[in-house]
Amino acid sequence: IYRDQSTCPGVTITRDLIVVSWKEHGLSCDVSLKGMVVPDDGFIIICANKYQHAMEFRKMSYIGGKWRDLSICDIEDYMLLAGNGFNSYAIKDSDAGCDKSDCVGSNCHSGCGDKYLDIYGYPGSSLAYTDHVYDECRAVRKMNYPYGQSPFIPDMWEVICLSFSFNTQPGEECDPRVWKEVPLVLFFTEFCDPEDDKSKRMIELYSPNKRDYKIEHDLIVMKYEGTSPYP
Supply the pLDDT for residue 203: 95
Give the span between the Cα atoms of 18 and 31, in whole angstroms. Answer: 5
pTM, whole model, 2 decimals?
0.76
- 111, amino acid identity: G
DSSP string for 140-167? EE-TT--S--SS--GGGEEEEE----SS
Pairing, β 157-161 against β 115-120: unpaired
Largest CA distance in the chain: 74
**Cα of 199 vs its chain's centroid, Å:** 42
pLDDT in tens, the chain (231 residues): 766 554 566 789 998 999 999 998 878 899 999 999 999 888 999 999 999 999 998 888 877 777 888 899 999 999 999 988 999 999 998 876 555 444 444 455 544 567 889 999 998 899 999 989 999 888 999 988 999 998 899 999 988 876 555 455 556 688 899 888 888 888 899 999 888 888 889 999 998 778 778 898 899 999 998 888 888
Q: Which residues are paired to 20 by β-bridges?
A: 30, 90
Cα torsion 79, 80, 82, 84 to 10°: value is -170
DSSP character for 55?
H
What CA–CA distances, in Å, run from 172 to 93, 107, 141?
Answer: 32, 31, 14
Q: Which helix (H) or strand (E) holds 21?
A: strand 17-22
Supply the pLDDT for residue 226: 87
Supply the pLDDT for residue 10: 78
